[in-house]
Chains A and B, each alone.
Chain A
Amino acid sequence: MADVALRKVVKRYDDVEAVRGIDLDIADHEFIVLVGPSGCGKSTTLRMIAGLEDISDGDILIGGDVVNDVPPKDRDIAMVFQNYALYPHMTVAENMSFGLRLKHYPKAEIKARVTEAARLLDITDLIDRKPKQLSGGQRQRVAMGRAIVRNPKVFLFDEPLSNLDAKLRVQMRIEIKKVHQKVRTTTVYVTHDQVEAMTLADRVVVMNKGRIEQIGTPNELYHKPATRFVAGFIGSPAMNFIPCRLEDVGGTLQIRLTDRIAFALPPARAARYNALPRTEKLLLGIRPEHLTESHAHLAPGVETFDTVLDVTEPMGMETLVYFGLDGTPVCGRVDPNAGAKDGAPMRLAMDLNNMHLLNEETGVVL
């Protein structure tokens, strides 16, 4: 077990910078998820930690030691690949014990470790099979077993669930979480799936265009996103961004969305945004769950408006409603019994206590 640190790590391919100076501290036992769209540099970062890619600039430390020039085999890490990378000519047991056999561990210890890992992952019955005789989920377990038996300082996962179907993905996600709870090895996990990131991570690192956008716990990222990218990336359906401006009407601060719709800001929000210039181009960031059907008794800070729905999507436990505000598409989440219908008018309530205000040009959350 060890902590991992990245200091101004840069990766350049010819004249393209894939990773642009990343700083990251990962504590011992921590489960860190790197998440972002494809091409954001998350896999490259992971591969640099593994030693599979050279570092163009900066330092990577594992357990306090700089490992920039240490080959992968001497970094004491284990990696689980997206396509499992199991050796097809070896049985499950041979696959799992390969690393230990190369290091000349005693046979009894190898057997004990493989048996223990197989028990932990529930693959004891498969131990003599070849990878070809296994399903995708079973192969993924074997790949994890191969990592566990080594008892490394750090686990690295490179999109390990991407090749599985949706149902199995959920199951394996829980499995990975359980395994981490038991073995407590420092883990760096790469995914493009924000649900995986939110459910697995102690802390999530959101990356975009080779840079870190924000580091935080899943709740922090969800409730206090730092940028428009993070706000839009985390959460499904994504946060709505509605062009707006601030105006003073009779001593109270108002937010105007359209010519027709303007709301007085709740006192706490008004105090926070009061210093902003009224001419600034702003975006109102509001999650779909804070745009619901209107009730008779509304909490303070919840404002209603009338609109005509374009499309409704019944999801069972909720119905997603889509409508436009001056041409900006907006999504809300209403109760399935609220009577939302395609093309029908509806009164909706916006919870301004959970709003975000963003600078339209810089994308920074204010």
Chain B
Amino acid sequence: MADVVLQPNRAATAKTARKRSSLHNALRRKSTVAFLMTLPLILLIALLVIYPAFYAIHLATLNKSMQRFIGLSNFEFLFKRETFWLVVKQSCIFAITAVIFKAVLGFIIAHFVHNIPARGQRKWRGMLLVPWVIPPAMSTLAWLWLFDPSYSAFNYTLGLFGAGPIPWTGDALWARFSVILVNIWVGAPFFMIMYLAALKSVPEQLYEAAAIDGANWWQRIWYVTLPMMRNIIAITTLFSLIVTFANFDIVRILTAGGPLDHTHIFATWAFRVGIEGSDIPLGASVSLFMVPILAIAAIFILRDVNKRGNEA
């Protein structure tokens, strides 16, 4: 009889022991610990990114008064509007041109800084980072004054050479030029600092080997520097593409999208129709358009990085 009573008890004890040991084992596994340690960050991302993202998708399916579900009607409406396609075109021109120039300029400046003797290098590095460090909203205000049609330093200087005043922010072409110029000015230092770090990690002996192999200055950049920096270039470009595509402050302050919507990009136009035009669902639909475009770019660039990841 006693045995019969004890039996289930023993089984229960064994069960809890097993449970405890499996929990213990799970905790001991490195991946579990890693997951637990990243959990706060994952929760933060979920709260600040995933929730708003899904909320934006939800908003995009509502009517202007946010009372009624209308499915994809907001998108259909956008496709039929000329301004929308103008914004798509301008966003692409703005982001691609700015990123290319930032990358090229950053590469050239990084090379110059890299060749400055170590003692003076820190000073130059610090000074060249200034445009990137100042909040763009503030520095763009300074640019706004420089671009002022009647009293600006630019037009005054041009006047000294007899060149007529340029409508920096008044003419569609010049306005596009201006917003891209300011974006390059703000963003190039980021490329510079990333490329400088990459340049410093290229072993000096590779250049010496190339010099002995008969490579001239240009061939050393083409066959040694660029291949060694390819991953950094790809990641920096992707990062910059995302940030530039989603830019808001520079365009908003410099031209507010004008003249006649000719400098609007996704973020500024989303603000215009969503907040200023009081059609938040339509604004959400506009901003959602950035996702597929950037996703495709990200897939292409990251696939390339992965492919070469285990080369060096």
Chain A residue with the shortest CB-CB distance to B230: A89
Decide: B212 and A73 in contact? CB cutoff 8 A: yes
B227–A72 CB distance below 8 A? no
Q: Are B223 and A87 in contact (CB under 8 A)?
A: yes
Among A69-87, those with CB < 8 Å from B are: 71-73, 77-79, 81, 83, 85-87
Residue numbers in A under 8 Å from B203 (CB-CB)? 83, 85
In chain B, positions 162-215 with a C-beta closer than 8 Å to chain A are 203, 205-206, 208-215
Our pick among A72, A85, A88, A150 for the contact of B312 (Cβ within 8 Å) is A88
Interface check B311, CB cutoff 8 A:
yes
Q: Among the listed A78, A81, A89, A150, which residue makes an inter-chain contact with B227, where contact means beta carbons less than 8 Å apart?
A: A89
| Residue pair B213, A50 in contact (C-beta under 8 Å) | no
Which of A51, A102, A103, A132 contacts B310, CB < 8 Å?
A132
The residue of chain B having its C-beta at the shortest distance from the C-beta of A152 within the complex is B212
Which residues of B have CB within 8 Å of A86? 209
In the bound complex, residues from chain B placing their C-beta under 8 Å from that of A73 are 211-216
Across the interface, A79 reaches (CB within 8 A) one of B209, B308, B312, namely: B209
Select A81's contact among B209, B310, B312, beta carbons within 8 Å: B209
Instruction: Tell yes or no: A130 within 8 A of B by CB.
Output: yes
Check A87 against B215 for contact (C-beta < 8 Å): no
- Tell whether, in the assembled complex, residue B312 and residue A102 are in contact, meaning their CB atoms are under 8 Å apart: no
Q: Is B311 within 8 A of A85, CB to CB?
A: no
Tally of contact residues, B, Cβ under 8 A:
22
Neighbouring B residues of A263 by C-beta, 8 Å: none
The residue in chain B whose Cβ has the minimal distance to the Cβ of A158 is: B205
Verify if A338 is at the interface (C-beta below 8 Å from B): no
Chain A residues in 8 Å Cβ range of B214 = 73, 99, 102-103
Q: Please give the distance in Å from B18's CB to the nearest CB on chain A.
A: 45
Indicate if B228 sits at the interface (CB-CB under 8 A): yes
CB closest chain-B residue, reference A150: B213
B224 within 8 Å of A by Cβ? yes
Report yes or no: A132 in contact with B311, Cβ–Cβ below 8 A: yes
Residues of chain A from 161 to 186 with CB closer than 8 A to chain B in the complex:
none
B304 CB to closest chain A CB (Å) equals 13
Residues of A within 8 A of B215 (CB): 73, 98, 102
Let me know if B219 and A102 touch, CB within 8 A. Answer: yes
Chain A residue nearest in CB terms to B310: A132
Contact between chains at A89 and B211 (CB < 8 Å): no
A52 at the interface (CB under 8 A from B): yes
> CA of A71 to CA of B203 in the docked complex: distance in angstroms?
20
Q: Does B224 lie within 8 Å of A87, measured CB to CB?
A: yes
CA distance A51 to B207 in the complex (A): 13
Closest to A77 in B: B212
Nearest-neighbour CB distance to chain A for B117, whole angstroms, equals 13
Residues of chain B lying within 8 A (CB to CB) of residue A52: 208, 211-212
| B-side contacts of A98, CB under 8 Å | 210, 213, 215, 223
A55 to B212, CA, bound (A): 17
Known: A102-B215, A102-B219, A132-B311. A85 touches B227 (CB 8 A): no
What's the least CB distance linking B312 to chain A, in Å?
5
B228 near A102 with CB under 8 A, answer: no
Are A79's CB and B227's CB within 8 A?
Answer: no
Contact code string A131-153 (vs B, CB < 8 Å = 1, else 0): 01000000000000010001000
A83 touches B205 (CB 8 A): yes
Question: Are the CB atoms of B311 and A72 closer together than 8 Å?
Answer: no
User: How far does the Cβ of A154 sit from chain B's closest Cβ, in whole Å?
Assistant: 11
Within 8 A of A (CB), among B90-118: none
With A73-B213, A73-B215, A103-B214 given, is the CB distance from A89 to B312 under 8 Å? yes
Contact with B along A251-277 (1 / 0, CB 8 A): 000000000000000000000000000
Cα-based distance from A86 to B208 in the complex (angstroms): 11
Are A99 and B213 in contact (CB-based, < 8 A)? yes
Mark interface residues in A99-136 (1 if CB within 8 Å of B CB, else 0).
Answer: 10011000000000000000000000000001010000
Question: In the complex, which residues of chain B have a beta carbon less than 8 angstroms from the beta carbon of A51?
Answer: 211-212
| Distance of A51 Cα from B208 Cα, bound (Å) | 10
B216's closest neighbor in chain A, by CB?
A73
Known: A87-B227, A89-B228. A72 touches B206 (CB 8 A): no
Contact A72 B228 (CB under 8 A): no
Task: Please name the residue on chain B nearest to A74 by beta carbon.
Answer: B214
Q: With a CB–CB cut-off of 8 A, which chain B residues contact A102? A: 213-215, 219
A54 to chain B, nearest CB (A): 13
The answer to whether A71 and B312 have CB atoms under 8 Å apart is no
Contacts of A50 in B (CB 8 A): 208, 212
CB nearest neighbor in B for A73? B214
Q: Which residues of B contact A87 (CB under 8 A)?
A: 206, 209-210, 223-224, 227
Counting from the closest, the 6 A-B pairs by CB-CB distance are: A99-B213, A85-B205, A73-B214, A85-B209, A89-B227, A102-B214
Given contacts A72-B211, A85-B209, A87-B227, 18 further A-B pairs with CB under 8 A are A51-B211, A52-B211, A52-B212, A71-B211, A72-B212, A73-B211, A73-B216, A81-B208, A87-B206, A87-B210, A88-B311, A88-B312, A89-B311, A89-B312, A98-B213, A99-B213, A102-B213, A150-B213
